[in-house]
A and B are shown apart, each in its own frame.
Chain A
């Protein structure tokens, strides 16, 4: 339907459009908008950072529930099995947003959780980023009674406790262990050297995660002591380069870098890989399906590990429900339920018998019965920052780990 408009009216429509556009564009350009946290963290003396929220007021008691709780969690961390009883007991309706990576969690928690989210079950690699970004605030541990039952090394670990302030409640943890096919390896390998070995070329898999550079550094700390690697997350440039070059040498031997646990399970199930880095979760799933695999923490090198912390968002809209959740999720019974359901080890030390009641032998297979010395061999994830513990600031920050990882994988 062609309705002829006179030419002199032609400009009007466009004029309206432009009139709308100009102030918006001006506003956008002049703004300090960003999706990341832009709170300034003043570098303290000796290269130390101070968390922006360290002086935030801490709740002294838990009031009435607000009726709702918004969580950011790993899949499997908010199963109906323990969420439903919680909802019935406290009246707090739980909404879980599942995130697939630490990266996503940091992204979602931008701006203190945006006034949307209350808690995030962040792994160690994200914790420091969240703390120094001002996205999480300190937690009052006296409101979490079960905290006293936690294993000592998880009560105030370096990745969630800064200057004596707790930024979260440790939840569960697990090692990044070595998964191997029992058909190929008659005895458990004692060193990570097997995943760097040409003998298994094309049959190795490791996670597609820049934090793997720390695993390479861990191996080098034993294989090349002259590099002087002590903390695998605080690497100086020469140490970092050595780890990156080891990974580049390993690349032709890799069948695939796994992104999802189910990918790795599929690789082992179909016989595409015979050895690789994994979590106890994959081992459990594969063994339950009858695959001939086993896992181990190589005795010669140890392993890296991950430990999850429930962190409280700086702008949590439902703090009372949040504290109720923290108290609930750290009790022995719920810790045992989650550990067996997911395949990880509880922070609460009183869980062995309970775990065995749910699934026979789970206490041993998930190492919940081990003494603390066993866990000392695990180097838990923490966000690599430029600030090194020794007061210097020449360590490689995570942003460069990501760039290097893209170079490694190609």
Chain B
């Protein structure tokens, strides 16, 4: 890097003056850098969230089907009527199971990618992990229907191996499998990032101190990888919490309702926007709590 030559000419003087002015007024720099993104978020995103949440306190007139403004807790009370609590519980449980499965699958994979693979292999694996994200989500879910249906590819394969016919199409197991599959790249990438950042010297130091592999894994690697795991779990958890397309395509419809599709069902013909908004509060609250916990665990450093 060569020394930067002294600015000359009028426009360069202007640049130099502006930049000096900004240097002396950090608050101006802060405002200038932060205003555009913050304005975007406040004006477009937060304001619209608030507008939507306000409708949760309204009700629908059953005769005219119009929205009645006002302050009513009827929709929030309706969240406690069966089967909504079951649906919420099922969705949260599904999100948790998907997250756990993705963590288990991703960590060894990311470990290999970050610490064992050669740089060329690492690049190839990275491409391999990113590529499925470009093959339409819808097409991949639809492909699973073909694989999991009765006498589909899975049944065909297991029959050839003499393992009988699992026939898990249209079940909650199928949904869990598809969710785990679809969000897997979102878990691998942050975990890989976290593992990759651990300097070799840490491992060497741990070995020097007498720890064997398992101990190093437990006491050094996993704690340092934790932010990455938590960051990945934010994705898998929230994406499962709000998805309505996979339940629609893979689920049987019988005891497979999830928060996402109940919200979706209520906003069109049923025109029950207040109830949909009230139900939408549930994932917002869950995810906010999750985010606060994640930040405490340092996940925001690792995303």
Interchain nearest-CB distance for A313 vs B (Å): 16
Note all chain B residues with C-beta closer than 8 A to A406: 83-84, 87, 257, 262, 265
A383 nearest CB across to chain B (Å): 7
B67 near A38 (CB under 8 angstroms)?
yes
Which residue from B27, B86, B251, B265 sits with its C-beta under 8 Å from A103? B265
Q: A34-B273, A257-B254 are in contact. Are A271 and B267 (CB under 8 A)?
A: no
Q: Offer 16 A-B interface pairs, CB within 8 angstroms, sorted by A.
A: A3-B26, A13-B31, A17-B34, A20-B39, A25-B47, A33-B54, A38-B66, A49-B64, A103-B269, A126-B269, A132-B65, A256-B251, A259-B253, A266-B145, A270-B169, A387-B63
Instruction: Say which residue of A20, A25, A104 sits within 8 Å of B50 (CB atoms).
Output: A25
Residue of B nearest to A4 (CB): B26
Binds A, one of B149-157, B179-187, B193-201: B149-157
Q: Please measure, in the bound complex, the distance between the C-alpha atom of A409 and the C-alpha atom of B252, giving whole angstroms.
A: 9
List residues 376-394 of chain A with CB under 8 A from any CB of chain B.
383, 385-387, 393
Would you call A410 and B257 a contact (CB within 8 A)? yes
Total interface residues on B, using CB and 8 Å?
Answer: 56
A266 to B83, CA, bound (A): 29
Contact present for A397 and B273 (CB under 8 Å): no
Chain A minimum-CB-distance residue to B63: A386
Tell whether A104 pairs with B268 under 8 Å between CB atoms, given A33-B51, A49-B64, A256-B252: yes
Q: How far is the CA of A257 from the CA of B256 in the complex (A)?
A: 10
Query: Quick check: A398 and B269 within 8 Å, CB to CB?
Result: yes
The residue in A47, A107, A267, A403 that gathers the most chain B C-beta atoms within 10 A of its C-beta is A403
Q: Please give, as numbers and ranges, the residues of chain B lying within 8 Å of A263 by CB-CB distance.
A: 145, 249
Count residues on chain A whose CB falls below 8 Å from chain B CBs. 74
Alpha-carbon distance A36/B257, docked complex (angstroms): 24
CA gap between A260 and B267 in the complex, in Å: 19
Decide if A34 touches B42 in the complex (CB within 8 Å): no
Tell me if A402 is interfacial: C-beta within 8 Å of chain B.
yes
Q: Point out the residue from B54, B170, B248 that lies within 8 Å of A29, measured CB to CB.
A: B54
Measured between C-beta atoms, what is the minimum distance from A113 to chain B in Å? 15
Check if B19 is an interface residue, CB within 8 A of chain A.
Answer: no
Would you call B34 and A16 a contact (CB within 8 A)? yes
Cβ-defined contact, A39 with B66, below 8 A: yes
Set A6, A17, A39, A383: member contacting B38, Cβ < 8 A: A17
Cβ 8 A contact of B34, one of A13, A36, A105: A13
Tell whether A32 is near chain B: CB-to-CB under 8 Å: yes
Q: Is the CB of A20 within 8 A of B62?
A: no
* Alpha-carbon separation in the docked complex, A257 to B248 (Å): 9
